[in-house]
Every structure is written in structure tokens, then in C-alpha cells.
Structure 1
Amino acid sequence: MTSKRVGRLAVLAALPAALLTVAGSAPVFAEEDTPAYQIDLQQLNDSGSKGTVLLSARGTELTVWIKSEGMVPGQPSAQHLHGSTEGHDFVCPDDSADTNGDGILNNTEATVHYGDINIALTVSGDTDAATSGLAVDRMPVADKEGKIAYKRTIPVSQDVIDHIKDLHVVQHGIDPNNNDKYDFEGAGKSELDPKLPQEATAPTNCGEVKGAAVGSVPVGGVETGSGSTATGVSPVTMIGAAGAASAAAAGALIVVRRRATAKGGDAA
């Protein structure tokens, strides 16, 4: 009994505190043989965004927990599992990936490093990269403090389970001029489409799966398939003109990545 209790306390110490509280109650854990892999989200583009992700696999179901902050308040954030299930080694980029030297790491530059979308982390509906990578109306919306809380259990392929350590999470959307919206004033036009603001398409953070499992994972927290939204306003309503641009931007992400695939093979 003592050994088992010590093991549980060790698991508790290893998990981020933000992911352990369930509506103010004590933490509840899954079976001890359910591994969880931790991702620490680190800012890109000097966004100030950071967060923690836990991935837990049982069979071919993957549960994804995300707690992030420093997002653009009230704006949708496209988020995805990136990387390869075919042995290609993708990583999160750093400032040196800004190859055109304009001070903004755009999505085209970053995709070379973090790879194509593998799974779209939507709040509802399917998660297929081709059909939901652009589904901004089903992506989480940051609250008024720029925070996102997300949990969802989704079916995945066996390849994803087998290569879970090769995948990582990327969230999109930056606000360099600090006006709490996606516009053209902060970073100009997107390289994907001049009709879109760069702020809507650029990555805000990235995190790689750590090499070792951190133990059992908490059960509960944010309801399955949910994300932070403004009170009484649906993600579709919240998006407005800026969100429409974001939706088109997400579509452009996939187009550019497909082009990169055609040209560079492993770079997409």
C-alpha cells in the first residue's frame, strides 16, 4: 500500500498543476498503466504564449489536454498535431527559421521545420487535416485573458499511436501590435494570401513530445471537445471579419503545405 501511494504521489508531482484541478475538486487519475506524454509549449514570434499539453493513448484513442496563455483574446486559434508518422524528424523552429529576415516567422518558413498537419485539434466534429485544418469555427477561442483550456478524446490511426513521440503541437495567431485582434497593422500581409493578415496565420507557439512518459493522467477537467469561448457567443459569431480571414488563412496553410510536399517531399 505504501509503495502504491508513493507512486501516485510521484505521478501527481510530475503533472502540471493547471491540468490537475477538476472544478476545484481533488485530482482523479486514470489507470496507472495509461501513459501520458507531456509537451511544454514555447513561444514563437515573441508572442509571449506558453502552455502545457498532455497526450494519453488508450488503444487507438488519443486524449489531448491543452492549457495555454498569451493567446490573442477573443480570437480563434488554429491548433494541430504536426510531425510525421513515417520516420521523418521534424522539430519546433527557432528564430533562425525566419529566412527572409523580416522579423516574423511565417507559417511557410515554420512548416519546413515542424511539418505538415497530422491531426486538427478541433473542439467538435472530425479532426482530419484535409477537411478540418481550416475549420476555424471549430477551433478553440481564447478567453478575455488570452487563455485556452482544451480537452478532447479522438480516434486516431495506429501509426499515430506508434509514433506519438515524433509528433508535437502548434497553435497559430499572433498580436505584435497588442490590439487584441488579427489585423494588417502588426505584421502586414500574410505570405500565404495578401488578402489575409500575417497575424492570423503565423505560429504563436510550438512544443515537442518529451521522450519519457510522465505517468498516469488526470480524468476530467475541461469537458471533452471543449475550448474557451466568450460567454454567450459562439466561435462562429466571435470570428467576425477577422475570423473569416483566419478561416481562409487556415485553408491557405493546407494549400501551401501541399505545395511544399510536391516540391520538397519530406518538408511537408
Structure 2
Amino acid sequence: MNTIRCYEPACDGEAELLCNCTSPVTYSCENHMLKHYKSSSPHNFSSIFVEPVEGTKEAILQFLAEEKSKIEKIKANIIESFAQTLRLLSRRKKALECLQEAIRIDPNDADAHNWIGVILGNENKCEEAVKYHNKAIRINPNCSLYYNDKGYALYRLGRIEKAIDYLEKAIRIDPNNANSINNIGNILTNEKRYEEGVKQFSEAIRINPNSANYYYNKGYALKELGRREEAMESYKEAIRIDPNYPVSYSCKEFISENEKRQLKCTLF
């Protein structure tokens, strides 16, 4: 009986079909092949083989082609995950190389396009970043994150209203996107529109009351408005949620200073 074997020696290799049949042979292979496929790995596909039973050789070849396409997508996902690890380790150049390779394998990998935009934005290459965010949005226009990240890049370019517009689009897609709401609050606060900022931070807190960052941002905006008591309460909540919050020292300093002022008022 003839067999067909499919090999993929490594992720970069091309699938090699070895077939020694000299006349039309019928096969029924899917269940049998899937059984062996599950025991294989992306680096060794020699475990995939098909015993001739019923069906057509063309069906087998089509099945193998489909499986190879799936493996290509898996490879792209693995490379993308590795790129994210490198990004977190601040190895941005290598991360960009990995993400570009993921796009080469799968040009419709919207996440890879978006992450390249994020990295470029963090390197102050915001015009270029916007182009990658646009590609991600074109591939998948229903992902809230892509609009959020484009909004950040636009803000870095000084296009304030356009940035807010994209953050609002992110919220329309996902009304519970507290992060985008918080980001609008940050932009408004940086533009000294503190009252509007407080409203955004309050909404972000309503959706996610466990973020020290949202309470800190609200506290800062309240402090700038001169609403020290409310600011102190927000800062206290930020510290309660995360005692190791990066700016907890400045929160504690403000609380201590405010409590001293209260004591003075009581004494005099």
C-alpha cells in the first residue's frame, strides 16, 4: 500500500510531499491524518502520514495545503508573541524585526501592524506610527484598541481634537473601555481642561474601580481645581488599591501636607 508523507523540518522549511504512487489511488484520510497531526509539532511534521483507504489524492493535497496555511498563521502568532516579550524587555529593534516577519508571513495580521505602531510611537516616530495603526484599523475596523493607540499617536503629534475623536471611536466600539476614557481625561487635564478631565476619570473609575491610576489622575485634576479635600480622598484610594503605585510618595506627601493645613485651621 502506498503512503503520502508530509515533512516540515523547521519553521522556515517548505512542506515536501513524497508520493510514490504511479496510478490513481483512492484515499479517505482526514480522521487518520488529524490523529497524526495532533502528535506532530511545527518543527517536525514527519509524524503526519496517510494510509491509503478511500477518497482522492487531490483531496489529500488540498487538506495538506490547508494545514500548511494554518501552520503559517501559527508561526506568525509565535513570532508576534516573541516580539511582545522583546518589547517589554525594551529590545525594540529586535521586536520590530519579529513583527515585520509576522506581517511577511501573514500580511493581514492586524495586531502585528498595531504593535509596530505602538513601538514607533514610543520612539517619537508618530507619523509613521499612525500609518501602521491605519493598516490595523483597515484590516479589523472593530477593534477598540487600535483606535485607542492611534489616538495616542495623534496626541503625540499635537492633533488634540483628532486624538480625542479616535479615543471616542474606541469607546463607541467598547463602551466599557475604561482605558480610553481615562486617556481622554489625561488629554483634557494636560490641556488644563480640569473639570472635563474629572468627569472622564470619574467615568473610568465607575467602570473599573480597581485602578490606582484612575484615582491618581482624578486626584491630580481635583488638586489643580483647588478641590483639595476631594483630591486627598482620590489619592488615598489610589494608595489603598496599590501601596506601591509609582507616584504614591507624591500622593502621601500631598495628603500629609493637606492634613497639616487642616490641623492649622482647627488650631486657629
Please give the TM-score of this superposition, normalised by the length of structure 2.
0.25
Q: Which has the bigger relative contact order, CA under 8 A and spacing at least 6?
A: 1
Pick the structure with more strand per residue: 1
Please give the TM-score of this superposition, normalised by the length of structure 1.
0.25
Pick the structure with more helix per residue: 2
